[in-house]
Amino acid sequence: MKIAIIGAGLTGLTTAYYLKKKGIDVTLFEKSDRTGGVIQSVRQDEFIYENGPSTGVLGTAEAVELLEELDDLCTLEVADENAKYRWIWKDNQWHSLPSGLFGGITTPLFTFSDKLRLLGEPFRKPGTDPNETLASLVRRRMGESFLKYAVDPFVLGIYSGDPEQLVPKYALPKLYNLEQKYGSFIGGSIKKGKEPKTEREKKITREVFSVKGGLSNLTNALAEKVGKDRIILNAAELKISQAQPGYLLRYTGSEEIRFDRIISTAGAYALHDIFSFLPDAALRKIERLPYAQVVQVSVGFLQWKGIELKAFGGLIPFCENRQVLGALFLSSFLKERAPEGGALISTFLGGVRKPEMVGLSDEQIHELVSREIKFLFGLTKWAPDLFVINRYQKAIPQYGIESEEKLAAITFMERDFPGLILAGNIRDGIGMADRIKQGREIAEKVVSSETS
């Protein structure tokens, strides 16, 4: 059996790694000149910053186990205590996001009436609409101020999205299942916490993590395990056609290569060009998947003169009408990201509700970010030693009302075209742990189908 994987990002590399471990003949095809996909760590002077995701969460056993298996090539770095604290901006100052019932009742972030609603949350009935939006769900169970000052900034931090559009069943399934299985968020969290856990489930600590030296060391380790001879870079204009049996693959400058199976991790927007034989009607249901447009700005200071940054980061609710979505204080909870006494901050602009930010010039972004960081973090002088801008037109997929039809279309095409698997972040979550879990599950599914 010969398998082709399209895309050498985290999902594709993980899938290839586990297939190779089982002795499967697998080849990765990547359109760019490097592996890792959106993950790209950069060492510049005394800073280590990320172009792409900055951290992950140990939210699946598969993620923990992969990092354990790769510890000879990359070293897991769990964030320190500062990462447990999140700041929320309200009324021109930062407030700590509460983590428990008592904190939720005493914080100035929420209104008095919503604090009273919080006490009644465990007794409210579960929703019955599987396509209910996140905003509707939170208003129903917690109230408007919880939506504005807890959930909205949380969604901005993960999806750069809009809670009025995201559907929890697909975007936040753990939250959705708390209500559906246990009846409430608060009561469900307590009940779930008391349930016995297997040894494998105990590995899921939900701690923030990175890799020593940057996340690229993780994808580089996977690429080394897969083998350079199994990875084709610069595979531009890649096209797949049907063969009898299997599929034919070609890219610029290559002859056609036959494979028994094709695993795609390409974005929704790229599928039509790659798989011209797939039904247009089904493809359109996947192509409807919206993406957030995001500007990421890495700012470093050899000597930090602002307020003390002892937190994971600060998030700014949309209703506060600032020009940035928030910032991660990477040097406050990860080692060697900035020199002693310095700071590395990753700031984000744009998102679903401000897509025009991606179109700003470098000069406009520099002026905007300098003004916002000075005001938000108490700087009197603006003299950064690092300032790097990255724009992402298709940054983060948004799992909204179209998700049900999208997933049905994927199921339909995988059934009607045996040997084809459509994966990547078009389904099954956007986090690093989600990507690792999906990659391993796909590999196990392929191996199981061949041995059954």
For 82-100, the pLDDT digits (tens) are 999 999 999 999 999 998 7
For 251-271, what is the mean pLDDT? 97
CATH 3.40.605.10 fits 291-397, yes or no: no
> For residues 409 and 287, what is the distance between their CA atoms, to the nearest angstrom?
11
Residues of the chain with CATH 3.50.50.60: 2-37+216-289+400-451
pTM for the structure as a whole = 0.96
For 429-442, the pLDDT digits (tens) are 999 999 999 999 99
Indicate the class that CATH gives domain 110-194. mainly alpha
> For residues 410 and 413, what is the distance between their CA atoms, to the nearest angstrom?
5
pLDDT of 103 reads 85
For 195-230, the pLDDT digits (tens) are 999 999 999 999 999 999 999 999 999 999 999 999
For 310-364, the pLDDT digits (tens) are 999 999 999 999 999 999 999 999 999 999 999 999 999 999 999 999 999 999 9
- Tokens 């917690």 — which residue? 142
Residues of the chain with CATH 1.10.3110.10: 110-194
Q: Length of the chain in residues, anyone?
A: 452
pLDDT of 180 reads 94
For 147-180, the pLDDT digits (tens) are 999 999 999 999 999 999 999 999 999 999 999 9
The answer to whether the Cα torsion of 59, 63, 67, 68 is positive or negative is positive
CATH 3.50.50.60 fits 2-37+216-289+400-451, yes or no: yes
> For residues 312 and 314, what is the distance between their CA atoms, to the nearest angstrom?
7
For 50-67, the pLDDT digits (tens) are 999 999 999 999 999 999
Beta carbons of 397 and 291 less than 8 angstroms apart: yes
Query: What percent of the chain has a predicted confidence (pLDDT) above 70?
Result: 100
The three state secondary structure string of the chain is CEEEEECCCHHHHHHHHHHHHCCCEEEEECCCCCCCCCCCEEEECCEEEECCCCCEECCCHHHHHHHHHCCCCCCEEECCHHHHCEEEEECCEEEECCCCHHHHHHCCCCCHHHHHHHHHHHHCCCCCCCCCCHHHHHHHHCCHHHHHHHHHHHHHHHCCCCCCCCCHHHHCHHHHHHHHHHCCHHHHHHHHHHCCCCCCHHHCCCCEEEECCCCHHHHHHHHHHHCHHHEECCCCCCEEEECCCCEEEECCCCCCEEECEEEECCCHHHHHHHCCCCCHHHHHHHHCCCEEEEEEEEEEECCCCCCCCCCCEEECCHHHCCCCCEEEEHHHHCCCCCCCCCEEEEEEEECCCCHHHHHCCHHHHHHHHHHHHHHHHCCCCCCCCEEEEEEEEEEEECCCCCHHHHHHHHHHHHHHCCCEEECCCCCCCCCHHHHHHHHHHHHHHHHHHHHC
> Are β-strands 208-211 and 76-78 bridged in parallel, bridged antiparallel, or unpaired?
antiparallel
Beta carbons of 77 and 335 less than 8 angstroms apart: yes
Beta carbons of 392 and 294 less than 8 angstroms apart: yes
Residues of the chain with CATH 3.90.660.20: 291-397
pLDDT of 452 reads 64
Lowest mean pLDDT among 15-29, 152-166, 187-201: 187-201
pLDDT of 22 reads 95
